[in-house]
Amino acid sequence: MAEPPPGVIPAFLSGTTMEAFGLNDLESAPVPYVRVSVSKILADITFKGVISDWQPFKKQIESYKNGDVPAEELELLVVLDSDMIYDQNFYFCVTEEAAQAVIEQFAAAPGAGKGEAGGDGPAAEEEEPVEPRPREIVDPDPVNRPWVEFEAVVEEGKAAPPKTSDEIDALVIRDLEPKLKYGIIRKRNHFGQGAARFHDADHIEVEDFKPYRDPQFKENPDQPGVFGTRFMLSDTATQCVPHSQDGASQTARYRLVNSMVQYAPIMVDAKSGDAEEAQKEEDSLAEMLAEMAPLAEAALKTNETISVFVDDLSNLGDEETLGNTSDNKIKEYSSPFTDITYSKNKIISCIDWMPGAKGTVAVACTEKVSLDEQVDMDGKVRTSHILIWNFRDPIHPQFVLNAPGDIFCFKFNPENNDLLAAGCANGQVLYWNLKGAKNSAIQKDKNDKGGQAGDEDQGGKDDVKTIRAEMTSTIEVSHRRPVAALRWLPPNKEVAPRTGAIVPSEKKVSKQILTLAADGMLLFWDLEVTKADKNGALLWTPIHRIIMNSVEGSGELGGCQLQLHTA
């Protein structure tokens, strides 16, 4: 991708924006650029908001000036980038100098529109570009020339390298022994001995299929010309096999030939001695041996002083020396962490520790059903829960998060543990904000401090705080398969809507989520970007999607795990 010059900004404009600003005709226009009113662009940004294609460049558009031209009459130069020079389908100029440079570039280009360059107008016929003839490289003297040997400069005291012709000649494979010939003969009267004899066989002798005449074969008096009262029979001969004919056939036979392969090492004869002697004289080999010899000697001495076959574990002390067994082994934290209403007889599909909170863990509980039971339950309304447990109370969950389906993955926000996002089995993405529930729980703890110790046992199901999802994605634009993985994007980076470009961010808390499913799609979600339908209800849709096509051909890849590289 080429780097745009100063004052030129690449942009991706959708088909709706192209139709609204009259940019669809630029492909067939004499020149691929047009002036667009700045006020009309700002009006589009005000009306559509963040979903406008011009929204990422609002500051550059507002700062555009053109001398003493009033703000109502300012116009930007928008150019169609059909060759994707700047990796987008359009680019526009935010300075008048850049706009004039683009116009002069198209005017000076061969085949440019004459209406802009001062010619006869857009109706003038464009000259077809003439392709240059390919360059022909011809040998001026196509004659076989003698071999020119390369003579290498040899320093004193060193062996001369072998000639190129000697090296090539050494690679040629030659027969060391003459080839053998074998001749096999047979007398003429031995030909055809023991061959099979074929003859014709009659069908009556083989299958006992004799002719048969129906006694009812006679002319019908009611139907002249029709023979037979029940069905028509005729005395006709038939043969159920092809007609036999005399012929001869000879099968092509290839004689067997004994083959033999013999190999021998390639010998290189150095003029100053054998190859081994020449190799020993190399300075590089001598330097390497001088450097590695002390290291190898030290390793050999270490092996002699330390026995590598001794079992070190057999020399450990007994329990009486080290103390009690229970004091030295890792203790298992035995706790119920089971709720009769929400997690009994269910399996845990995902676990995540709450960041910044000591002794707080969240688990997602799903039904323990087989594949056939899942098919029977498909299409029915089902609810699932995410239980947030605190080690101070392992009997009752601290919070219960309601979900419209089984949860297979969820994650706390690393910067703010009040935010939690999860992916459902039906492909939807959910988001909870625990701030209000935490404040209510803190206030309740303050009010209960003056109570008796027995009041703690009077709680239970009624004291568990159930929280509904803050936002739920629209199922039509969600994943078509269960969400397999979910990650929060780092706060210093974010994905621009529609374009999908990664831009820096100054936010301290991440507000964007990346989800992956087996439908072959990566979806980016933003907690601050929502839409509203005609009834005023909020619609949470992805801001960008990536389809993972197979690199080997047609088809899509199903994702199962997700890992972000934050560098």
Q: Is residue 197 part of a domain?
A: no
Integer angstrom CA distances of residue 461 from 339, 362, 395, 396, 399: 9, 18, 10, 8, 11
Give alpha helix (H) positions in 337-467.
Answer: 371-377, 435-447
Integer angstrom CA distances of residue 460 from 225, 259, 456: 103, 90, 9
Distance in angstroms (rounded) separating the CA atoms of residues 60 and 387: 48
**Where is the domain boundary, 85, 117, 149?**
117
pLDDT in tens, 180-218: 888 888 788 877 776 666 666 665 555 555 555 555 556
Give alpha helix (H) positions in 152-274.
Answer: 164-170, 203-207
Q: How many CB atoms lie within 10 A of CB 427?
A: 22
Two structure tokens written together for 335: 């706790």
Element (H, E) at 494: strand 493-495
| CB-based contact 226:232 (threshold 8 Å) | yes
Element (H, E) at 525: strand 521-526
Say how many CA atoms lie within 13 Å of 129 toward its Cβ. Answer: 7
Q: Is residue 472 part of a domain?
A: yes
Q: What is the pLDDT of residue 453?
A: 46
Q: What are phi and psi of 486, to 5 degrees?
A: -145, 135
Q: Is residue 131 part of a domain?
A: no
Distance in angstroms (rounded) separating the CA atoms of residues 74 and 68: 10
| CB-based contact 117:30 (threshold 8 Å) | no
Domain coverage including residue 25: 8-117
**Where is the domain boundary, 99, 117, 135?**
117
Element (H, E) at 488: strand 483-488
Report which of 385, 367, 384, 389 is spatially closest to residue 376, judged by C-alpha positions: 367
Q: Is residue 377 part of a domain?
A: yes
Element (H, E) at 346: strand 346-353
**Where is the domain boundary, 65, 85, 117?**
117
Integer angstrom CA distances of residue 182 from 174, 240, 257: 22, 51, 9
Integer angstrom CA distances of residue 332 from 165, 292, 335, 343, 357: 77, 52, 9, 21, 21
| CB-based contact 267:170 (threshold 8 Å) | yes
- Measured in whole angstroms, the distance separating CA 323 from the mean position of its chain's CA atoms is 55
Stated pTM of the model: 0.42
Distance in angstroms (rounded) separating the CA atoms of residues 393 and 137: 87
- Measured in whole angstroms, the distance separating CA 435 from the mean position of its chain's CA atoms is 37
Q: Is residue 87 part of a domain?
A: yes
Q: What are phi and psi of 204, to 5 degrees?
A: -70, -40
> Angle CA(250)–CA(255)–CA(260) in degrees, nearest 5?
165
| CB-based contact 411:501 (threshold 8 Å) | no
Residue ranges for the chain with pLDDT beneath 70: 1, 110-127, 133, 135-142, 194-221, 223-242, 266-281, 316-336, 379, 450-463, 536, 567
Two structure tokens written together for 333: 């934290």
Q: Is residue 301 part of a domain?
A: no
> Is the Cα torsion angle 280, 282, 285, 286 positive or negative in sign?
positive
Two structure tokens written together for 427: 């492909």
Distance in angstroms (rounded) separating the CA atoms of residues 335 and 337: 6
Q: Is residue 138 part of a domain?
A: no
Q: What are phi and psi of 188, to 5 degrees?
A: -70, -35
Edge-to-edge, what's the strand order for the sheet holding 8-11?
A: 8-11, 90-93, 75-80, 33-37
Integer angstrom CA distances of residue 467 from 111, 225, 337, 440: 66, 97, 19, 12
In CATH, what number is assigned to the domain containing residue 397? Answer: 2.130.10.10
Q: DSSP readout, 246-296?
A: --------PPP--------PPP--BTTB-HHHHHHT-HHHHHHHHHHHHHH
Distance in angstroms (rounded) separating the CA atoms of residues 190 and 243: 34
> Is the Cα torsion angle 49, 50, 54, 55 positive or negative in sign?
positive
pLDDT in tens, 53-108: 888 888 888 888 887 888 788 888 888 888 888 888 888 888 888 888 888 888 87
| CB-based contact 401:385 (threshold 8 Å) | yes
The conformation of residue 547, written as its DSSP 8-state character, comes to E
Beta bridge partners of 227: 219
| Residue 260: burial class (beta carbons within 10 Å; 0-12, 13-18, 19+) | exposed
Distance in angstroms (rounded) separating the CA atoms of residues 217 and 215: 5
At residue 56, the 3 state secondary structure works out as: helix
Q: Is residue 326 part of a domain?
A: no
Q: What are phi and psi of 25, to 5 degrees?
A: -90, 5
Q: How many CB atoms lie within 10 A of CB 361?
A: 15
> How many Å from the N-terminal Cα to the C-terminal Cα in the chain?
23
The conformation of residue 28, written as its DSSP 8-state character, comes to T
Q: How many distinct structural domains can be found in the chain? A: 2
